Structure 1
Amino acid sequence: MAPNRLSKGALVYALVAAFISGNAWAGPPFLTDDPEPTDTGHWEIYAPLVEAEGRGADFEGSAGVELNYGAAPDLQITIGLPMAFSHDRGGWRRGAGDVAVSAKYRFYQDEAAGLSVAAFPGMTLPTASNGMGNGRVTALLPVWAQKDIGAWSIFGGGGYAINPGPGNRDHWEGGIAVARRIDPHLLIGVEADRKGADTIDGCSSTSLGLGGIYQLGGALRLLASGGPSFADGEGKAGFHGFLTLGMDF
């Protein structure tokens, strides 16, 4: 998954999968990413894409579009173009988000064993306005793996996040997910993700989630996920959510 899914790139969020041809579906809408690249010469587009995370009335997120292109065999290029937002006691703030750019390269695949592995390095560029971004180039350097067993898929991995800036700190993050294709139109999965503290005075957190992909017809599908998040040392749970339409051609 890119440094974040649009605003986090990683996190993940960048990301791809859900092929109509019957390949295992993974990646979006899950925080956990997968090693499956977009087919060579094809596009996957997620828009409108909306994601958010926070606790109670204090939350932040982004709305925008993610573009995935199969640039070569086993190679996918991803660009995330977000508009960022946040809400707290002071009200709403909006502005352009940091553009996310990443490249997924699947360097191992054993079709007979249903096993594949890919690197998915990415970075965010300081394109945000109104204080909605990091103000620096950030990066995520993850490796993702997937094992397919019939209608089931297990995928996950993680990597090191480079997060410069005053008060910020580098950290590790990753996750694991289990998904099952119920029928040709529906996939459902669960996941658990862990993220280290990204600020000097921050703390690590764990996110649990339930996600699904529903094929609407033709090249169009609906993707959604969400669940609770738990910061170490804090009793009250937060939340994360993701919703988008996907199309490939």
Structure 2
Amino acid sequence: MNGKCSGSMLCILLLLAVSKLLAQGPPYQTDDPVPVDLHHYEFYIFGNTDGTPVETDSTGPAFEFNWGAIPRVQLHAILPWGSINPSNNPVYLPAGTGPSAFGLLDTELGAKIAFIKETRYSPQIGTFTMFEIPTGSYDKGLGVGKVWYKVPLWLQKNIGHWLLDGGAGETVVPQTQYRDFPYGGFLAKYTFGERLELGGELFAHAREGFATPQTEASAMIDMGGSYHLRHHPGEQFLFCYGHSVAGQTENYAYVGMYWTWGKDNRKPDAGDAWLRSPARATGFP
């Protein structure tokens, strides 16, 4: 399971005090409260990996679809394939044992809801609740075997070319050898012109259980960005890599392609397709 959470209450309180700037999510672990615009769509093809000395889990190919179904609400789905690769090192018993496996993982369904709209002086606030449906094989270690879910609160604030994004949440996993755990993150990102965005985040989580690679708490620093392709403003290349700076040794990486499209009720201004990117969508009609 590739969930993430904050390692201490102090870290979570600090993260909750932060807000965001444009709109994020992939390729970072920190998410945002910005739904897809009404009657607009997003599609990702991606792969990621998250590993510790106990086990390395990879996802890919994975397919993500987001739909601006109604004002301030986005519906979300991910259909992922992936692998588990336990270390089988007796030092980490009872974790990290068993054969490697590849196949369909648990399917993710969710809804992003914006509660409070961003103003000049206050951040946008919302949630991105996700339910993980047990489509992966529990016997092979590719799925949890029961429905589990994530309930976060995210904040966002735009300040010129900067994006500030932060929040925290709880992952609830009602299964043996798994734990409920908190997680949180803070992201700062800067836009360079109309094509390149680079950012860095601090992301932390508590221990997730012996059935996961994350048997102990960890805090990570990730660096990544997105590049808007010249021939299609709504198409982007996404990338991110990070490593732990406290707690259990952990690595995270993400690479993917992103597309957005949709129909406006008004004639679009020049550059609207770019403004509807993951970094700049407002989530409000």
Aligned to 2:169: 159
Distance 1:197 1:103, change over 3 A: same
Unmatched runs of 5 consecutive residues or more in structure 1: 1-6, 12-22
Distance 1:38 1:245, change over 3 A: same
Q: Secondary structure at the match of 2:184?
A: strand
Q: Distance in 2 between matches of 1:158 and 1:146?
A: 13
Q: Distance in 2 between matches of 1:96 and 1:231?
A: 32
Q: Distance in 1 between matches of 2:103 and 2:156?
A: 36
CA shift, 1:88, in A, is 4.1
User: Contact 1:114 / 1:149 at 8 angstroms: preserved in 2?
Assistant: no
Aligned sequence identity (%)? 27
Aligned pairs for 1:166-245 within 5 A: 166-199=176-209, 202-217=215-230, 218=232, 219-229=234-244, 232=247, 234=248, 237-245=249-257
Aligned to 1:17: none
Aligned to 1:54: 51
User: Contact 2:157 / 2:163 at 8 angstroms: preserved in 1?
Assistant: yes
For residue 124 of structure 2, the aligned residue among 99, 102, 116 is 116
User: Contact 2:63 / 2:79 at 8 angstroms: preserved in 1?
Assistant: yes
Q: What amino acid sits opposite 1:62 in the alignment?
A: T
Aligned to 2:40: 42
Q: What amino acid sits opposite 1:132 in the alignment?
A: L
Aligned to 1:27: 25
Aligned to 1:80: 78
Q: What amino acid sits opposite 1:247 in the alignment?
A: W
CA shift, 1:135, in A, is 0.8
When you count helix as a share of all residues, which structure comes out higher?
A: 2
User: Contact 2:118 / 2:157 at 8 angstroms: preserved in 1?
Assistant: no
Q: What amino acid sits opposite 2:202 in the alignment?
A: A
Q: Name which one, 1 or 2, has greater alpha-carbon Rg.
A: 2
Aligned to 2:66: 68
Q: Return the TM-score normalized by structure 2.
A: 0.74
User: Contact 1:221 / 1:245 at 8 angstroms: preserved in 2?
Assistant: yes
CA shift, 1:57, in A, is 9.5
Q: Distance in 1 between matches of 2:86 and 2:141?
A: 15
User: Contact 2:208 / 2:216 at 8 angstroms: preserved in 1?
Assistant: yes
Q: Secondary structure at the match of 1:184?
A: coil
Q: Distance in 2 between matches of 1:89 and 1:38?
A: 39
Q: Distance in 2 between matches of 1:141 and 1:221?
A: 28
Q: Return the TM-score normalized by structure 1.
A: 0.85
Q: Secondary structure at the match of 2:58?
A: strand
Q: Distance in 1 between matches of 2:67 and 2:122?
A: 23
Q: Distance in 1 between matches of 2:66 and 2:4?
A: 15
Distance 1:56 1:169, change over 3 A: closer
Distance 1:120 1:89, change over 3 A: closer
Distance 1:52 1:192, change over 3 A: same
Q: Distance in 2 between matches of 1:242 and 1:169?
A: 25
Q: Give CA-to-partner distance per residue, 1:118-177, whole Å, 9 cap, x none.
A: 111111011003330111111111010011110001101011110111122211111101
More displaced stretch, 197-206 vs 214-223: 197-206
User: Contact 1:50 / 1:244 at 8 angstroms: preserved in 2?
Assistant: yes
**1:140 matches 2:150:** yes
When you count strand as a share of all residues, which structure comes out higher?
A: 1
Q: Secondary structure at the match of 2:117?
A: strand
